[in-house]
């Protein structure tokens, strides 16, 4: 009798653990817009989610520690004049976030430490260049202040946020139809895009050239999403001709046939892939699903290995993915998702079961840190560099002066908009405060003199 050999993997028993009720974010009004983005972005400091807003577009920013019921009058970021479609935190500054909207603009915001105390209406910089709604924003992984945006005008713009200028344009000659997804390679040298014309393209953005492309990676007509993964490969999610959901792995040098193609189910929700380069695990979250599937990618056949699935009762309207430096390493947490319900945001921790509570070096190799490897000028000049790695052995401690190390361009914008942006007083208000302080000090001195005189009188009697 032959025995089936089970593939050995330290991630075979990864399990999802939803947070307790008091660790969730209750009574949030999640956006009802029909758009295939996660509607949620998270980093080690803040949770941001796109919410319903009357008379424009808004998103909510909460400190991670501010769990429980969210006040219905909580201040929002509300500078857009139409619904917000996508948001993304800057990987090199945990206080800076970008948003794309139906009002055809991209805005970059700076969130003060501790969160908002007043509604934030003035961005640090507004990036105008698209002629139709902007549905995708993505920061460069290693170059400082380089931001990509993709609009329904079929154009991808790459911005230098420091100057507020579009430095690269990939026009409708590259993508003749709606762009479904855009993903940077790990070093930011290439882009992987999927388009309504049923093609997946790998693009060198600085030259504007298509390095490789694949026609109809999935036979169905529904949207395809594509991301870079390890070992020079890309992963795509889409639909078969019979509307079955599929996941496929491709070698970027040989796109004729997939290395692996797996059919999943017959649900209609578009699958959003999240890839972790440290563990080589890809997580698939479907909009409208109540589950998260995860697969391990290896360098040898069959390349794509199904691990398991986290299931819950309620479906998800969106999903946020925490960077590795925001996880609890002493609990063997290798990923954390923030699942958006209709009126609630629920953290879900993905954990490897281990008996020891010591630091597990095999689970936490050096990971991407918060420092940029390149300036915008260096990257535009042709240089490439991988992320600057940090160890999580002693836990992640954010740099003390992180908020002061924004680029010169952002500093200029901050000086221009700081009074409204952060709710801090302007120069006129500061002068008035100083005058009032002097008056108070004079009053205190006068009262002290009277008190001294009164004490002398008492002692004399």
The DSSP annotation for 53-76 comes to -TTSEEEEEEETT--EEPPTT---
Residue 164 and residue 147 in contact, taking contact as beta carbons nearer than 8 Å: no
Q: Tell me, what's the pLDDT at 5?
A: 53
Cβ contacts of residue 453 below 8 Å, gap of 6+? none
DSSP state of 21: G
- Predicted pLDDT of residue 355: 82
Distance CA 328, CA 335 (A): 9
User: What's the CA gap between 329 and 313, in Å, rounded?
Assistant: 28
Q: Which two tokens stand for residue 390?
A: 């940090």
Chunked into runs of 10 residues, the chain (461 residues) has average pLDDT values of 61 92 92 87 95 87 93 92 94 94 95 92 93 96 95 95 93 94 96 95 95 94 94 94 94 93 91 95 92 93 92 91 93 94 93 85 92 94 94 78 43 37 45 67 74 73 61
How much is the pLDDT for 227? 97
- Identify the pLDDT of residue 145: 92
Q: Residue 157 has which token pair?
A: 């713009």
State the pLDDT at residue 452.
74
């Amino acid at each position: 009798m032959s025995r089936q050999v089970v593939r050995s993997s330290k991630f075979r028993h990864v399990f999802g653990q939803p947070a307790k009720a008091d660790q969730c974010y209750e009574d949030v009004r999640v956006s009802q817009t029909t758009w295939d983005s996660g509607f949620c972005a998270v980093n080690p400091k803040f949770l941001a989610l796109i919410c319903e807003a009357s008379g424009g577009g808004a998103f909510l920013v909460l400190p991670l520690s501010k769990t429980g019921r969210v006040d219905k009058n909580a201040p929002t970021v509300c500078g857009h004049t139409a619904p917000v479609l996508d948001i993304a935190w800057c990987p090199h500054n945990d206080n800076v976030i970008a948003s794309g909207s139906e009002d055809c603009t991209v805005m970059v915001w700076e969130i003060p430490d501790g969160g908002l105390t007043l509604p934030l209406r003035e961005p640090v910089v507004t990036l105008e260049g698209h002629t139709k709604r902007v549905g995708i924003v993505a920061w460069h992984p290693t170059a400082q202040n380089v931001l990509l945006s993709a609009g329904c005008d079929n154009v991808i713009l790459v911005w230098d946020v420091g100057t507020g200028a579009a430095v690269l344009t990939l026009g409708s000659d590259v993508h003749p139809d709606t762009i479904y997804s855009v993903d940077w390679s790990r070093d930011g040298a290439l882009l992987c895009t999927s388009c309504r014309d049923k093609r997946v393209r790998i693009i060198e953005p600085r030259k504007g050239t298509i390095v490789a492309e694949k026609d109809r990676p999935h036979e169905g007509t529904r949207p395809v999403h594509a991301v870079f993964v390890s070992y020079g490969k890309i992963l795509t999610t889409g639909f078969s001709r019979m509307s079955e959901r599929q996941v496929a792995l491709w070698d970027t040098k040989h796109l004729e046939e997939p290395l692996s193609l797996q059919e999943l189910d017959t649900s209609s929700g578009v699958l959003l892939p999240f890839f972790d380069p440290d563990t080589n695990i890809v997580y698939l979250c479907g909009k409208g699903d109540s589950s998260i599937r995860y697969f391990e990618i290896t360098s040898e056949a069959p390349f794509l290995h199904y691990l398991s699935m986290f299931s819950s009762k309620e479906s998800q309207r969106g999903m946020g993915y925490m960077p590795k430096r925001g996880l609890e390493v002493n609990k063997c947490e290798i990923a954390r998702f923030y699942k958006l319900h209709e009126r609630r945001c629920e953290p879900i921790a993905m954990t490897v079961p281990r008996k020891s509570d010591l630091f597990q070096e095999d689970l936490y190799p050096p990971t991407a840190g918060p420092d940029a490897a390149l300036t915008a000028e260096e990257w535009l000049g042709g240089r490439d560099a991988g992320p600057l790695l940090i160890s999580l052995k002693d836990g992640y401690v954010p740099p003390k002066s992180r908020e002061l190390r924004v680029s010169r361009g952002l500093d200029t914008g901050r000086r221009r908009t700081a009074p409204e942006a952060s709710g801090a007083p302007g120069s006129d208000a500061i002068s008035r405060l100083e005058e009032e302080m002097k008056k108070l000090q004079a009053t205190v001195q006068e009262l002290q003199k009277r008190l001294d005189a009164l004490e002398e009188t008492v002692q004399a009697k």
